[in-house]
Chain A
Amino acid sequence: MAERYSATEQGENPGLGFADIVRQHQAMVFSIAQHFLTDRSAAEELAQDVFLQLHATLPTLKSEDHVKFWLRKVTAHRCIDYQRRRRVSQISLEDAPEQVASTHSGDLFLEKRVRQLIATLPEKPRMVVILRYQEDMSPEDIAVALAMPLATVKSHLQRSLAMLREKMTRTIGEVVI
């Protein structure tokens, strides 16, 4: 779409354009933040800040795709910055305690476990994984969004997946995945 967005559109309801964008992309922004920070309230606050920033920047964005890309990029960078400021002690993937496999594990448990494992990744590999699997972004797009070389993106992906796979294998015993 080539039409330019504006914070206030001409018409009867000046704030409609921005509101639509918020409703359209709130899940995306919130989820990136949530999966990265694993802190719901922090994720909500960060997501709100992203949209407030969007409101100020919206006149400069040229299309819906541009808006979407902008949101992903800004959310990713804000998450990484937030994490670094917080300096939450991370347990490296290697050190993450292995959960004893439970024969009664359901998907929810596994998903939660996977998310916990992802949260142990360093910031940038973590965001690479989230953008890759939550947003289905190509490595090239991830490289642009994170201002990172493509090779680095691929390396992060490969290494992170290898570690996740190993941890998950131990967690669930048999490698089902």
Chain B
Amino acid sequence: MNPPNEDMKHIDEFLKTALRREEAPPGFAEGILARVEQQPTVKPKEEHVPWFHLFSRPLVRWAAFATVFASLIAGSIHYRNVRREQAKGEAAKQQLMLALHIAGSKLQLARSKVNGIQTSQPDHERETNRSRSKS
């Protein structure tokens, strides 16, 4: 029996011999080429890319940021305009109420004066005034 090392060397070589390459069957390459030609243009597998993977592209990311930013600006401008319009409307309303209040209070003043005078007038004088006005 050979020494182990020798044994291993022999095994190695024996295995190399036993496992030497064999020729492919005849027409093997041609068969492959024919299949390749028959196939439609081989495209890389289309991976199903989740929609949010678009944002891995810098340009898309920047475009998204720009869009969001512009929308925020537009939205805030619109909101500001609406608020401004509302403020104007409120101011106009206040002015209106003020004007009506003043007018109403002066009318009340007039009315109170008239009522006060009429109250203070003796009855006969009131009758005289009425008849004068009729004539």
Chain A positions within 8 Å of B, measured between CB atoms, are 7, 15, 18-19, 22-23, 26-31, 34-35, 40, 44, 47-48, 51-52, 55-56, 107, 110-111, 114-115, 118, 129-130, 132-134, 136, 161, 164-165, 168, 175-177
Contacts and interface: CB of A to CB of B under 8 A. Distances in A.
A161 B29 contact: no
A19 B37 CA distance: 11
Contacts of B42: 7, 55-56
B21 interface: yes
A102 to B, nearest CB: 17
B31 interface: yes
A35 B19 contact: yes
B21 A133 contact: no
29 contacts: A7-B42, A15-B36, A18-B36, A22-B32, A26-B29, A27-B21, A29-B24, A30-B22, A30-B24, A31-B21, A34-B22, A40-B25, A47-B28, A48-B28, A48-B32, A51-B32, A56-B44, A56-B45, A111-B18, A114-B18, A118-B18, A132-B15, A133-B15, A134-B19, A136-B16, A164-B11, A164-B15, A175-B2, A177-B11
Contacts of A165: 7, 11
Q: Is the interface of A mostly helix, strand, loop or mixed?
A: helix
Contacts of B31: 48
B20 interface: yes
Interface string B1-13: 1100001101111
B33 interface: yes
B134 interface: no
Given A23-B29, A177-B7, 4 more contacts: A19-B33, A27-B22, A40-B25, A118-B15
Nearest to A160: B15
Interface of B: 1-2, 7-8, 10-25, 28-29, 31-33, 35-37, 39, 42, 44-45
Given A30-B24, A30-B25, A44-B25, A177 B14 contact: yes
B18 to A, nearest CB: 4
A3 B42 CA distance: 21
A132 B36 CA distance: 31
Nearest to B22: A31
Contact of B24 (A47, A111, A133, A177): A47
Contacts of A175: 1-2, 7
Contacts of B33: 15, 18-19, 22
A44 B28 contact: yes
Given A7-B42, A44-B28, A110 B18 contact: yes
A177 B10 CA distance: 4
Nearest to A51: B32
A52 B35 contact: yes
A175 B13 CA distance: 14
